[in-house]
Amino acid sequence: DNIKFLLVVPVFLGILTHSSPLAAADQAGAAELLGRFAARTRGQVAELNSIRQLTTVSTRVGEQSVTMDQRVEMIFPDRIRRTMLVDGNEQAIVINAGTGFLASGTLSLPLPEARLSESVKQLGRDLLVLASSTGDPDLRAALVGAGEQDGVSCQLIDVSLETVRSRLCLDDEGKVLSQSFASRHPMSNAPGMIEIVFSDHRDAGGVYYPFRQVLTFEGEEMVTVTIQSLEINPALPDSLFLIPSSE
């Protein structure tokens, strides 16, 4: 059950976005707004290389409500380690340049292909990755209209980094209020919309980041992520991201 939970939670935290093309809209306006988002999010940090987060994750698996601590260590753009404390034991999911595995005690298992694909694509929607990619030719954006989040007006932009797409709701100053994308429920496989609502924005380590993130599927609250601490550009050893040999 614990391994199943570990496979489910990262799906909610990084589910695959839909593959429909971006809307043909105001490209210049989108680029200008995305630039404001990047400048506000990156703040005083000239270059984002790595992060370490300590978070609390609360979710429901069936009728069971589960809360656990999680440590996230990431080297941009394609290495991430999520370590959770489960029944007093550390269990980790590691992604390294398109490969990944689940480690639980002495057990090490390759991630199922669908979960691996979703976890890899998650990195393309990460707010700090997007904020660091504004000069990347693979980053495209289109302004698609006005929206509202919790009574606050925003501009909606469709963002694509390589093949990963999502829609951001940004206020006039570039603060991100929400992110949404089409996907499937990881348990029932039913198609629907995932929305992440961001709040409790704080200055931390030189960046401006939402410390509370609530994920919903078709309007039903599924996961709440509360960030306890955020460290910018820590020295992370390569050993954290080593993929076990298949031999």
pLDDT at 44: 87
State residue 61's pLDDT score.
67
In tens digits, what is the pLDDT along the chain, a chain of 247 residues?
A: 444 445 445 544 443 333 344 444 467 788 899 999 999 999 989 899 999 999 999 987 667 788 899 999 999 988 999 999 877 788 999 999 888 999 887 888 998 887 887 787 788 889 999 999 988 889 999 999 999 999 999 999 999 988 889 999 999 999 999 999 888 776 677 888 999 999 999 999 999 999 999 999 999 988 999 999 999 999 999 999 988 765 5
The torsion angles phi and psi of 241, rounded to 5 degrees, stand at: -115, 15
Res 9: pLDDT: 52
Q: What is residue 114's predicted lDDT score, i.e. its pLDDT? A: 78
What's the rounded Cα separation, in Å, for the pair 198 and 178? Answer: 5
CB burial class (10 A; 0-12, 13-18, 19+) of residue 131? buried
**Predicted local distance difference test score (pLDDT) of residue 26:** 65
Rounded to the nearest 5 percent, the helix, strand and coil shares of the chain are 20, 50, 30
pLDDT of residue 211: 98
Using alpha carbons only, how large is the chain's radius of gyration in Å?
A: 17
Give the per-residue pLDDT at 148: 94
